[in-house]
Copies of this chain bind each other. A is one copy, B any other.
Amino acid sequence: MVESRHRAAYAVADPGGTVVLHAGDISRPVYPRSAIKPLQALALLETGAAEAFQLGDAEIALACASHGGEPRHVDTVAAWLARIGCGVDDLECGAHLPSTQQAMLDLIAGGGRPSALHNNCSGKHAGFLSIARHLGYPTAGYIAHEHPVQQRVLGVLESMTGRDLGDAPRGIDGCGIPTLGMPLGNLALAMARLAAPDDQPEPRQGAAARVRRAMAAQPFLVAGTGRFCTKIMEVTGERALVKTGAEGVYCAALTKLGLGVALKVDDGAGRAAEVLMGRLLLHLGAIDEAEAEALAETLSPPVLNRAGRRVGELRAKPI
């Protein structure tokens, strides 16, 4: 018996803005949440901040990450902050326990406490601070919609989505920055342009290539141990760059196919967003049958009970 059911909408677009596949209402705005971190990271490249601070794949991948708060995530962000003359107190994202359970247990068992470095968004925030430092803006208040860093990011988002976001519904994300409502169709277009920015101006093309390369090179830093984003990109590399967001949002930039994908589960469930993204990747040919076989437990995860017995599974309907 199917116990619970999720509904979702999704859009697959090409860089010209043509929606080549969709389901549900893709014109209604959704908050993209962390799924647009790879787009926000473009500002880190385009402002020259990444070059000025000699950021490598690790830092750029972390700017795109919702990481698990594992030691390598935390240590890399801490070193990055030091490099730009900032520290954990400059992060305005708030603290939370590491998202990866083992990292959380290790931290607490060792007498530690979660800091803003463990916040899954700390890399994105280090990126914002880097932009502020590089352009000479005050770092305090960098999460405010009116701060020049957020305005710069807004410009990138408007350009990539092809949509004026001035009157977009505006919420506050889990990490304190603004999140702006945008239709899935526009979000898919932005991801298509990240995948294949040939018609974009040159600085954008280079920035997109740099973000793609970093995510593909450092899939662990984009998420963490056992996480869907990481496991997919460990197999696909740059061919399928996937990024999760809170409340059931998932985006993908399919470089080889030149397509962008954006989906939102109506009820906000991440478990459903993952299996739907997996189904779309397979349907679109971004992963092949052999890869799907190897990723079987990721694409259709078992449900285990407390004693470890397999009692069910999650699965997406065929497209």
Q: Which residues of A contact B (CB under 8 A)?
A: 1, 3-7, 29-31, 92-96, 105, 108-109, 111, 119, 121, 169, 171-176, 181, 247-248, 265-269, 272, 305-309, 311-312
A313 nearest CB across to chain B (Å): 12
Classify the secondary structure of A's interface with B.
loop
Task: Tell me whether A309 and B172 are in contact (CB under 8 A).
Answer: yes
In Å, the complex CA distance between A2 and B7 comes to: 16
Given the known A-B contacts A1-B29, A169-B1, A268-B4, are A174 and B306 also in contact in the complex, defined by CB atoms under 8 Å? yes
Task: Tell me whether B307 and A93 are in contact (CB under 8 A).
Answer: yes
Task: Tell me whether A1 and B171 are in contact (CB under 8 A).
Answer: yes
List the B side residues contacting A248 at CB < 8 Å.
4
In Å, the complex CA distance between A309 and B174 comes to: 9
A99 nearest CB across to chain B (Å): 11
A113 nearest CB across to chain B (Å): 9
In Å, the complex CA distance between A172 and B305 comes to: 8
Task: Tell me whether A308 and B109 are in contact (CB under 8 A).
Answer: no
In Å, the complex CA distance between A265 and B312 comes to: 18
Could you list 14 A-B pairs, sorted by A, with CB under 8 Å? Answer: A1-B31, A1-B181, A5-B266, A5-B267, A7-B267, A93-B306, A95-B306, A105-B108, A108-B109, A109-B109, A173-B311, A174-B305, A176-B305, A176-B309
List the B side residues contacting A266 at CB < 8 Å.
4-6, 267
List the B side residues contacting A108 at CB < 8 Å.
105, 108-109
List the B side residues contacting A181 at CB < 8 Å.
1
In Å, the complex CA distance between A175 and B109 comes to: 26
Task: Tell me whether A267 and B4 are in contact (CB under 8 A).
Answer: yes
In Å, the complex CA distance between A105 and B96 comes to: 13
In Å, the complex CA distance between A255 and B301 comes to: 41
List the B side residues contacting A272 at CB < 8 Å.
267
Which of B105, B175, B306, B309 is in CB contact (< 8 Å) with A305?
A: B175
In Å, the complex CA distance between A308 and B176 comes to: 9
Looking across the interface, which residue of chain B has its beta carbon closest to that of A33? B3
Looking across the interface, which residue of chain B has its beta carbon closest to that of A116? B306
